[in-house]
Structure 1
């Protein structure tokens, strides 16, 4: 009987869902959409390949990142999830944890520049957001922890660290763990102009019934069962970090990448591997409480294990942004047996159901154009730029409209635009600008194909057409605040 019910569910729900995921890509991509890629630093998986031990090494290391960002920009990506903390070490100048050895080949070795500063500046130059991707709970295996020596948190703050299965972890059940993580986050948010903080592995280890937290459970459990206490511990850390970031800079997005299946749904079971039961993440509870701006569920699945769970996340979003993480690494024959059409169907499904966007794990497979994925994005899916979706739960007031747009055509074919500045209701922020151009008047600012540039700072912009005879005739400028609210256009 159970098998029969599953079959009926499959026919009733899943087949129609999969059918909706196919078809042609829309003529115009969405104007507002997150298009993100994870740039993985751990083990140098995506970046860097060179070591910053000499001036030439620094130049090469920077050039490797620039090449990645240039290609993402060329394909109209707008969000970079830049790995900033790995396993108890970091890729920025910290007073708490040492530099990751991947930068110089040496634990704590100073690379001669600040990688996070560089990443943020280079992303912003290209109109892209830069989110600091921070691995939260794992601290690495015994060999790694030993290599960090006295700089390891296991030495500095041993009371909040626990060993488990030949690895070390921060203890989510210890009240000081959330304070330690917030100290790290505070360094990043206060010292860098990041657009978001993105938490990875903010969960317990998988299937950890013997995780060594018995003492803490007895002390702090207060009548709850172990599973609920553990979920509450993770939620309390999420709550503390979210509120801490918002107290510093409300516009900085706070996001997490939980396990892709929350738990069983009415459409399809999670088959024992889910966020709620396996790793104690009540991620939909976080959305309901409003302590996340974005969720990037790791939906590295296909078929029935993808589509029903995408809908489940969207239905429980509470108006927050759901950006499914796509397992594009499975396109590599050494990782899996996916074909390109699998990813294309998933992206079509995401757009058809109006989710906030999609994220690609990892950037290497974009750079390698695995199975032609990069080409498909550039030529079919991301054919026009996209602006960031707004965060009205933080601020829903757009900046004032820029005024007095002046278009000056230069003898060399360049076109110089200038305008009077906009003002934002949050005086801590100066709006940036979006430049639109077209051959028809008035410029249609609802069409993303008319976007020439975004995140323009200052009140001037020089437009350099690829060819003189393709130069746009008419222009418009809007202002955007850090929460994504866009003003009316000045034409």
Structure 2
């Protein structure tokens, strides 16, 4: 990636400036079976879902190895130390409810596995060609899959070295054996993309990993032809003269060289392992509309012209499975507005099977020297909120792991709270088929939680399972599984049986559990039969009225009325809608963490608000439920069932922040433990 090492090696300062600056200006009881439920995934299409808890969303982070940016933290670590560090990165991904890691395994014509084509990477031991004492790629894939994280193997196709001295390379390095393949440019060595033998070699070098390891995707960043540097253009004129017949310009020939790399690699991957995806994370701008009417309304560096990456064509031709443009600018940037670029890329993938992810500049959030916008803890989370208005965007990848861990100004925590509150399944790919539903054989409460066991379905290829927990007893509706509100997590399949322990189950709560099966491309089966585990506590229910002493708080902006007879108690509170943070709150003391049903009471009126926002402070974050207070009043209305924490606190709020007209009303709530 243009930002993976340029910021760390002084000799690459110009490349970093071009890529990040010149491109655009800176600115206990046994379980009992419930009624069997089969919940077809297709039945969920008409369900109303919560955009804050999407069922499918790829969430990843780049783990860069070049220059020891992320992992290993330095060269020469013992195998056990390297492995401990890597497990720490996977622990971080799980803590942030991510489901993928993108790990750099071929940073510079070298390898993080015992390659038959290229030497061991210097970033492991400090010396290129030195065996680290174990197989890092085999270890990394196994550890990721043990946590059911997708493993995207990140390769750089053409970079040979971050210097220009061939003699510094390992004696067995292909560039030393074939010196005519290498080009020195802007202080670095590159394989020449215009030589057909080079293109075939780098594909074979990468396919060695595809064939030998259980990776989920081949991932490339934005390095194809190098970014423009000082001292003239890339010196391949002689290669153009030799191989460029039929192309009127060297630019068209270079683009064709990269197109061939992409298309041929796609074909080789599909022939070997059809389930392995090819994904590319290009520079965020293809072309500007001022140059090409098909381009974006931007004025930055154009990857089509500067690095000869015709990314739009790769998408439109279906040569890649996903595209993850590096949209590293803030919302409203004068030359490269994030909002404009997500619009443009969303339109570009429309009509194709290519999945759209967004490369997020997490490294900029709260970092010194960045635009003022990046000092706002809300900038990064606002990106993902904006993404919701573009349904073709199916996830994000954060650069890089150390910045996710640093969490400067709390920006990553904001993203996790606002968007990664629940786990998520990865987006389903093209091809493959959903397996048969598993059979949930038992759900038993013990000292460590509720342990589930199941048997694999009779047909289909099962790669993983998704585990759901619904509060209370009763029938299961298809919409209960339409988003991730009830998704507990996923586990990798192994053998014909599976198990999962829900360590978060509250002792006093009753739950229904279900399991689905997923194939390698994440197609989901119908749900298993449901199993009910009953709670051990007694029934708890509390009503909080707007007049309950110590149980209700509201600012003086909230009026009091007893006009409507369908009120609860003597009166109720009301306020005009306005874009301000001014909620009225109902507080309660809950005896234990667990599952609770939340109900509300209000006197309905045709002039009241049609989308009154109720706020429920659940154990995993605040949930907003909008209620039409024009109808259904004078009775208890169920907002939903939620996992709530124990203690005394504000549980339900009524917000004024709504764009619809009419008073919002706060009258009473009832909270019942299930």
Which TM-score band applies after superposition, normalised by the shorter structure? 0.7 to 0.9
Q: Deviations over 1:319-350 (max 9, x none)?
A: 31111111111124335231222212211111
Between Structure 1 and Structure 2, the one with more helix by share is 1
5+ residue gaps, structure 2, are 1-49, 530-674
What number of residue pairs does the alignment pair up?
458
1:237 aligned residue: 261
Matches within 5 A, 1:305-344: 305=336, 306-317=338-349, 318-337=352-371, 338-339=374-375, 340-344=377-381
Of 441, 450, 464, which aligns to 1:406?
441
1:153 aligned residue: 174
1:417 aligned residue: 452
2:402 aligned residue: 364
Q: Deviations over 1:100-151 (max 9, x none)?
A: 2222222222222222112111111222101001111121233564322323
Shift of 1:442: 4.1
2:382 aligned residue: 345
1:447 aligned residue: 483
CA change 1:75–1:296 in 2 (3 A) is: same
Give me the TM-score of the superposition, normalised by structure 2: 0.65
CA change 1:212–1:463 in 2 (3 A) is: same
Shift of 1:447: 2.9
Between Structure 1 and Structure 2, the one with more strand by share is 2
| 1:437 counterpart = 2:469 | yes
CA change 1:217–1:27 in 2 (3 A) is: closer
Of 293, 312, 321, which aligns to 1:293?
321
Q: Does the CA-based 8 Å contact 2:442-2:454 persist in structure 1?
A: no
Matches within 5 A, 1:461-472: 461-466=499-504, 468-469=506-507
1:275 aligned residue: 303
Larger radius of gyration: 2
Greater RCO structure (CA 8 Å; 6+ sep): 1
Q: Does the CA-based 8 Å contact 2:147-2:492 persist in structure 1?
A: no
Question: In structure 2, how many angstroms separate the alpha carbons of the residues matched to 1:111 and 1:38?
Answer: 22
5+ residue gaps, structure 1, are 1-25
Question: In structure 2, how many angstroms separate the alpha carbons of the residues matched to 1:38 and 1:314?
Answer: 22
Question: In structure 2, how many angstroms separate the alpha carbons of the residues matched to 1:71 and 1:422?
Answer: 32
2:143 aligned residue: 122
Question: In structure 2, how many angstroms separate the alpha carbons of the residues matched to 1:356 and 1:308?
Answer: 17
Q: RMSD of aligned C-alpha atoms?
A: 2.3
Shift of 1:165: 2.8
Matches within 5 A, 1:141-180: 141-142=162-163, 145-180=166-201
CA change 1:325–1:180 in 2 (3 A) is: same
Q: Deviations over 1:143-171 (max 9, x none)?
A: 56432232333213333322223321111
CA change 1:52–1:475 in 2 (3 A) is: farther
Q: Deviations over 1:347-369 (max 9, x none)?
A: 11112212111111111111111
CA change 1:28–1:196 in 2 (3 A) is: same
* Structure 1 runs (4+) greater than 6 angstroms displaced: none
Question: In structure 2, how many angstroms separate the alpha carbons of the residues matched to 1:470 and 1:286?
Answer: 54
CA change 1:413–1:102 in 2 (3 A) is: closer
Q: Deviations over 1:229-273 (max 9, x none)?
A: 111110000011111111110111101111110111368543250
| 1:59 counterpart = 2:96 | no
1:19 aligned residue: none
2:119 aligned residue: 98
CA change 1:251–1:76 in 2 (3 A) is: same
CA change 1:263–1:472 in 2 (3 A) is: farther
CA change 1:144–1:313 in 2 (3 A) is: farther
* SS of aligned partner of 2:67: helix
Shift of 1:423: 5.5
| 1:377 counterpart = 2:412 | no
Shift of 1:78: 0.7
